[in-house]
Structure 1
């Protein structure tokens, strides 16, 4: 993934994670259907449940820029094992991405550890279409 701008963005933003409690830095980047890339990192808080995930930060940056449709996501976690999105982030991704959207988990060095579709990670999901 050396030349992949989405992977590079996830790796770069991971360096800015604020993780003084867990020491588990995570960076994530989303690519929109029009090719724009938005990144976010995890931000912990002394009141533990009040922190935010990297994926949520990337999605918030995307929405703030006016984008609404995710093509794919790259998550760069803190160790050599895949850092998959938490359940809440899987649902946040589903709000803006179709079930076939690709989610790649990479190492801090950019090695692809695993790639899934959103449907793999969140089967039988509930999304905006369910409310139509």
Structure 2
């Protein structure tokens, strides 16, 4: 077991919102937080507009792949953040669940994905505060 907090981001396709959130958390927390992401019905690839929007802020998520949500991933996480996966997300006692209502970037161009990316960044910064983890640049 690790002493560091672990966060799982879940959306339906694990191709946009959850991948951007995981990218932001990895970028801002460094190795101080274990980061996972998954989807209830993972897509074939990450949304290219999400990749482009994240690249604009210096975060490379091109090496990430949509992953199927497993009960093991939920069990191994302290915080589970859902983003529109509905009833497909398993619920375990003792886990902290947050539901972030974020627009789905599927089928949108980068100009429409930027505000979603920025909203995710804001929420990740708030999450770091709640987890009492200083952003990597401040350590």
TM over 0.5: no
More strand by share: 1
TM-score normalised by length of structure 2: 0.29
Identify which of structures 1 and 2 has the higher relative contact order when contacts are C-alpha pairs closer than 8 Å and 6+ apart. Answer: 2
TM-score normalised by length of structure 1: 0.30
More helix by share: 2
